[in-house]
Amino acid sequence: MAARHPQLNENGELRHLLTLEGLSREMLHHILDTAATFVGVSDRDVKKVPLLRGVSVFNLFFESSTRTRTTFEIAAKRLSADVVNLNITTSSTSKGESLLDTIDNLVAMHADMFVVRHAQSGAPFLIAEHVNRTRGSEVHVINAGDGRHAHPTQGLLDMYTIRHFKQDFTRLRVAIVGDVLHSRVARSDIHALTTLGVPELRVIGPHTLLPGGLEQMGVRVFTDMRAGLRDVDVVIMLRLQNERMRGALLPSAQEYFKHYGLTEEKLALAKPDAIVMHPGPMNRGVEIDSAVADGPQAVILDQVTFGIAVRMAVMSILAKS
């Protein structure tokens, strides 16, 4: 008998959110539908609902982050959870304590949910498998980005944004542009878009920034940006992740912008009502021109706003499992 995925409980429900790979179309729509019920919370005078009252959420960010950590904190507080932001640089792990010993100590402090970002791929899986063995169904883990592997809540908020503006995934042509090789966001987006039935998914970038095996994932690969953008409905730009690169993969940032930076001229090749997305932080003048980032087709700030509702949805679903 095949082993059950560590993010699912015995009923096939989400116990942790570690990856979008393998989640059903129904599960993805369930999360997006739940997020839709939370979008309006931000417009209330009192921006809180009591669903996580008494629950302790620990943000464990072993990599720097502003946008993701802040939106998780806001999401948890709007659900009435108690939130603890652990300063990793001064925590026991920097003094030699193992990751799992740190988790055990935090569980002993009655942690109920961990939001984990880590530079090593698989770290949230390791934590989830550990609490599955030691804590039964009491503790939940959310992957807030692990190495090059996955960023499931970013993938979900990207799907929410696309559904909000385009409604029907099964009629779309989507292009993901840039540093796919180092992008955990790209991997999560590819898994979600293919599961949700996007008929044509394109990846655009230089050979040095494209991983092998993309065609096997149902993706069309382009190294010519103009050809890849033609008639697309959605353009997802990716940040150049210089901190993850080993060796000289690009001649220069200026050369990259010339060939793969999104300008108004290149965007004109997409459909007139195409939307432009970016997971942030943006490198203006490297992967995207300011005229596009601040233009009428950009929905980048909408992504950030929707991210709060999506993360509220994930936390509320896990808390019920």
DSSP 46-72: S---STTTT-EEEEEESS--SHHHHHH
Q: Give residue 2's pLDDT.
A: 44
Q: Using CA atoms in the order 118, 121, 124, 127, what is the torsion angle rounded to 10 degrees?
A: -100
- CB atoms inside a 10 Å sphere around CB 90: 9
CA distance 37 to 220: 35
Residue numbering of the annotated binding site: 67-68, 95, 117, 151, 154, 184, 239, 280-281
Q: Give residue 159's pLDDT.
A: 98
Classify domain 25-151+305-320 at the CATH superfamily level: Aspartate/ornithine carbamoyltransferase (3.40.50.1370)
Q: Give residue 89's pLDDT.
A: 59
Question: What kind of fold does domain 153-299 have according to CATH?
Answer: Rossmann fold (3.40.50)
Please give the residue that has the higher pLDDT: either 47 or 261.
Answer: 261
Mean pLDDT of 38-58: 90
Whether residue 217 contacts residue 248, with contact meaning beta carbons closer than 8 Å, is answered with: no
CA distances from 121 to 18, 126, 127, 215 (A): 11, 10, 12, 23
Q: Give residue 315's pLDDT.
A: 98
Those residues whose C-beta lies under 8 Å from the C-beta of residue 156, and which sit 6 or more positions away, are 20, 28, 31, 32, 35, 192, 310, 313, 314
pLDDT at 91 over 70: no
Confidence band of 44 (pLDDT split at 50, 70, 90): confident
Residue numbering of the annotated binding site for L-aspartate: 95, 184, 239
Burial class (CB in 10 A: 0-12, 13-18, 19+), 49: middle
Residue numbering of the annotated binding site for carbamoyl phosphate: 67-68, 117, 151, 154, 280-281
Tell me the average pLDDT of the chain: 91
Q: How many CA atoms lie within 13 A of 133 on its CB side?
A: 8
Q: What is the pTM of this model?
A: 0.93
All CATH 3.40.50.1370 domain ranges in the chain, comma separated? 25-151+305-320, 153-299
